[in-house]
Structure 1
Amino acid sequence: MRLPMPMPRVRREPDLVELVERQQLLRVRGRSIAWLPPLVVLCAVPLLDWATGGDFRVISWLVLVPGIAAAVCQVWTTGVFAGLAMFLYVLGDDSRTGLPDFILVALGGLLSVLACTVRLRGQERMLHMRAVVETTRRILLRRLPPDVGGLDHAEVYLAADSQARVGGDFYDIQPSPHGTRVVIGDVQGKGITAVEAASVLLGTFREAAYHEPGAEVVAERLETRMVRHLRYCAHIGRDDAERFATAVLLDFPELRSERTDWGPDLTGPDTVTVGVINFGHEPPLLVSPDGVRLLPLRDGLPLGLSELDPRPHPSSTVRLAPDETLLLVTDGVTEARDGGGAFFPLREYVAGALAADPRATEPDTLVRLVHEGVLAHTGGHLDDDTTIFAVRRAGRAH
């Protein structure tokens, strides 16, 4: 008897109103106190005017109240403070300041309300664009369920442009009747054109990885799609017609015993044979409790450069034990520099982390350690999009 699977908890995306509220800096325990600064000035100006007296009159300083409210409050709150400022001015004026100061306070209140309206509309447009970018990121780099396709995985993506929050790095896992395929890559260049090329490759991977029985055919489909995309860009006269993409394609087929590039697989069902096709990308690191090894793969040309060498991309096979994890990164990690220009020592850093804690082979732990190490090495400043991806066979059947 099959038990019903529990429904996953759906994460609700914040709407525009919530995003606007989050932009307010003056909040205590989730409640806005943006009204407090203009209220303090509203009370202080009459008290200061009463304390000074004589010829030194500061009651006209009430014009500051709606101006401050316009910078931090909503439109209706700014209007309320503008009205209160005018009321207190009339109440505290003894006719020595005259009509000009009254006009100043009234005009200042009106302009403050208009300025607040313009500020909030601009903020809403900005947040709307950020919501569009966030939606694009979720479509491009879709949220992967845990243990998808019988694989334990963890990943983190950091865009070099913290405002755009999306770049040319891409990754995905696609289960299929022929096994589970994994891809990670980096489109050369930056900007929306790099995002477009990444989306083209991901769309092709998701279809080909599911339908095609061989990883070599999936690689051929990716190459063909990249070439078609570049020809299209050249046909419409775009300046990114010479773009290319580096990538690594992993193929986790059904468990079988066969010869690999590292020798015959004689360890039985506890070891899985993984096919690897490298499109000019950084080679994966094999992380195990015994240490860190760089996989000796046959490197092929990046995607989009098949005219230089029309031969098929070379394929390699790797034997992966249950406690071994494949760590894949983009050049945002390997080319990260510190203040002195030194590159981030990825392999040495991971080896040191394993020596301190052998449990660092867990994908979640491994990705977190590399993430923290890169940010510490660069001082939190990234010059390129950064993706850290760790994957291994799940410890239970799926």
Structure 2
Amino acid sequence: MRMRMPVPLGRREPDPVARQQPLRIRGRNVAWLPPLVVLLAVPVLDWITGGDFRVISWLVLVPGTAAAVCGVWTTALYAALALFMYAVGDHSWSPEERTGLPDFILVALGGVLSVLACAVRLRGEERMRHMRAVVDTTRRILLRQLPPDVGGLDHAEIYLAADSTARVGGDFYDIQPSPHGTRVVIGDVQGKGLGAVEAASVLLGTFREAAYYEAEPDTVAERLETRMVRHVRYCAHVGRADAERFATAVLLDFPELRSERTDWGPDLTGLDTLTVGIVNFGHEPPLLLSPRSVRFLPLRDGLPLGLAELAPRGPRTVTVRLAADETLLLVTDGVTEARDGRGVFFPLREYLTRALAAGTPALDPESLVRLVRDGVLAHTGGVLDDDTTIFAVRRASEPVRRAPSAPE
């Protein structure tokens, strides 16, 4: 399992193509140690067993062991050492007890094959590192790093991948400030693979444009629905297997957090609560957490993006008020459908209620997403069946001064 968290500004993400050493102790590479142990142990064992049971030919295991954990040149060195140890060990016996040329050829041939096997292994690892780099780059392009002070909101997000090799999911999220208010989206495209990533990317591209230019959240919702339908029709037209794909999502609208062209964030002076418009596209409803309670927000039923033709359209946006000490938690179904060894789903609301009753020290977004992450991983034993996104957002505690822009 691989975990991906947004990296704070000023810190570098680890290089996804960095070569991983298979055996390390306190940061030191000790991959040379296992074949060395075999190299020394076989002659000793051969001497102990005596002439009736010769095991000196077991030195063929030395380059084979090196091929599994070492580089090509190290494997070749161990193959040569194995031949040398064989010659020395075998000639230490009387002529009638020596294993002779056949076993010498066996050790030599084993060394050659081990070097070739090591080269093939390293080439496969290089190909896998390249694939992981492509996947990681794709995810970073899709889920761009969000500034900590974007749109007058404090936020935190954690993405947990169900598979660290080639499978990538369609979870997506973003925050878009605009002259009409700050807009937030989180969603999950049905299915996996590059087709799901492609659908998520077209939805995010539409959201970033529509959320900035459109004044009404319902219009943004219409744009997202239209874009998903167009994408599905395109897939059907070119004969792709994902022609019936859909996406669940939640769209949040904070109309009082209008983006102004000043050096300060939105002025929230005198506002005890914020208006939040919520549009639900068949997604998990957001949880509203306060120091006193944990509750799901009442939302209108909504069909996933791409399926609106199945039901008549009506008003979509539900308006709630968000107090300064309240936090909105949004998750994908990787959280709510996470199962333990007995098949029991993760009880998100009950888990948070217990944590609140036990005196959770803070409900800030960063602490909250870490709390949920730890709960999901403990519930599943660290094994996830689906990609998981945990996203928390609340009103910024104070306006953030922005650096003046350079004169054009």
TM-score when scaled to structure 2? 0.86
- Residue 161 (structure 1) aligned to one of 160, 163, 169: 163
- Residue 202 (structure 2) aligned to one of 200, 203, 206: 200
Q: Which residue of 2 aligns with 1:59?
A: 56
Cα contact 1:20–1:123 (8 A) shared by 2: no
> What is the DSSP-based 3-state SS (H/G/I as helix, E as strand, rest coil) of the residue aligned with 2:31?
coil
- Pair 1:209-2:206 in alignment: no
Trace 1:86-97 onto structure 2 (pairs within 5 A).
86-94=83-91, 96-97=98-99
C-alpha deviation, 1:44, in angstroms = 2.2
Runs of 4 or more consecutive aligned structure 1 residues displaced over 4 Å after TM superposition: none
> What is the DSSP-based 3-state SS (H/G/I as helix, E as strand, rest coil) of the residue aligned with 2:177?
strand
> What is the DSSP-based 3-state SS (H/G/I as helix, E as strand, rest coil) of the residue aligned with 2:20?
helix
Q: Which residue of 2 aligns with 1:178?
A: 180
Cα contact 1:289–1:359 (8 A) shared by 2: no
C-alpha deviation, 1:313, in angstroms = 5.3
* Matches of 1:286 and 1:297, distance apart in 2: 12
- Pair 1:142-2:144 in alignment: yes
Residue identity matched to 2:157: E
Trace 1:250-269 onto structure 2 (pairs within 5 A).
250-254=252-256, 268-269=270-271
Determine which structure has greater relative contact order: mean sequence separation of CA pairs < 8 Å that are 6+ residues apart, divided by chain length: 2
- The Cα offsets for residues 42-87 of structure 1, whole Å up to 9 and x where unpaired, read as 1222333344443543322221111111111110000001111112
- Residue 83 (structure 1) aligned to one of 80, 84, 94: 80
> What is the DSSP-based 3-state SS (H/G/I as helix, E as strand, rest coil) of the residue aligned with 2:309?
coil
Aligned residues: 378
* Matches of 1:294 and 1:10, distance apart in 2: 35
- Structure 2, unaligned stretches of length 5 or more? 1-7, 259-268, 401-408
Q: Which residue of 1 aligns with 2:15?
A: 14
Q: Which residue of 1 aligns with 2:153?
A: 151
Residue identity matched to 1:75: V
* Matches of 1:214 and 1:136, distance apart in 2: 31
Check 1:90–1:348 CA distance in 2 against 1; reply closer, same or farther (3 A cut): closer
- The Cα offsets for residues 313-337 of structure 1, whole Å up to 9 and x where unpaired, read as 5112111111100111122222333
Q: Which residue of 2 aligns with 1:292?
A: 294
Amino-acid identity (%): 77
> What is the DSSP-based 3-state SS (H/G/I as helix, E as strand, rest coil) of the residue aligned with 1:289?
coil
Check 1:122–1:183 CA distance in 2 against 1; reply closer, same or farther (3 A cut): same
> What is the DSSP-based 3-state SS (H/G/I as helix, E as strand, rest coil) of the residue aligned with 1:299?
coil
Cα contact 1:174–1:210 (8 A) shared by 2: yes
* Matches of 2:16 and 2:347, distance apart in 1: 41
* Matches of 2:105 and 2:315, distance apart in 1: 77
- Residue 366 (structure 2) aligned to one of 364, 367, 375: 364
CA RMSD of aligned residues (A): 2.2
> What is the DSSP-based 3-state SS (H/G/I as helix, E as strand, rest coil) of the residue aligned with 1:188?
strand
- Pair 1:338-2:340 in alignment: yes
Q: Which residue of 1 aligns with 2:106?
A: 104
> What is the DSSP-based 3-state SS (H/G/I as helix, E as strand, rest coil) of the residue aligned with 1:269?
coil
* Matches of 1:289 and 1:12, distance apart in 2: 34
Residue identity matched to 2:103: D
Cα contact 2:152–2:257 (8 A) shared by 1: no
- Structure 1, unaligned stretches of length 5 or more? 1-6, 257-266
* Matches of 1:146 and 1:338, distance apart in 2: 34
Cα contact 1:149–1:175 (8 A) shared by 2: yes
Trace 1:208-227 onto structure 2 (pairs within 5 A).
208-227=210-229
- The Cα offsets for residues 282-323 of structure 1, whole Å up to 9 and x where unpaired, read as 211111112122212223221112222353551121111111
C-alpha deviation, 1:164, in angstroms = 3.8
- Residue 238 (structure 1) aligned to one of 216, 228, 240: 240
C-alpha deviation, 1:150, in angstroms = 1.7
TM-score when scaled to structure 1? 0.88
Cα contact 1:353–1:360 (8 A) shared by 2: no
Check 1:55–1:334 CA distance in 2 against 1; reply closer, same or farther (3 A cut): closer
C-alpha deviation, 1:167, in angstroms = 0.7
Cα contact 1:301–1:313 (8 A) shared by 2: no
* Matches of 2:231 and 2:44, distance apart in 1: 70
> What is the DSSP-based 3-state SS (H/G/I as helix, E as strand, rest coil) of the residue aligned with 2:310?
coil
Residue identity matched to 1:326: L
- Residue 48 (structure 1) aligned to one of 35, 41, 45: 45
Cα contact 1:168–1:186 (8 A) shared by 2: yes
* Matches of 2:185 and 2:209, distance apart in 1: 13
Residue identity matched to 1:54: G
* Matches of 2:342 and 2:53, distance apart in 1: 58
C-alpha deviation, 1:365, in angstroms = 1.8
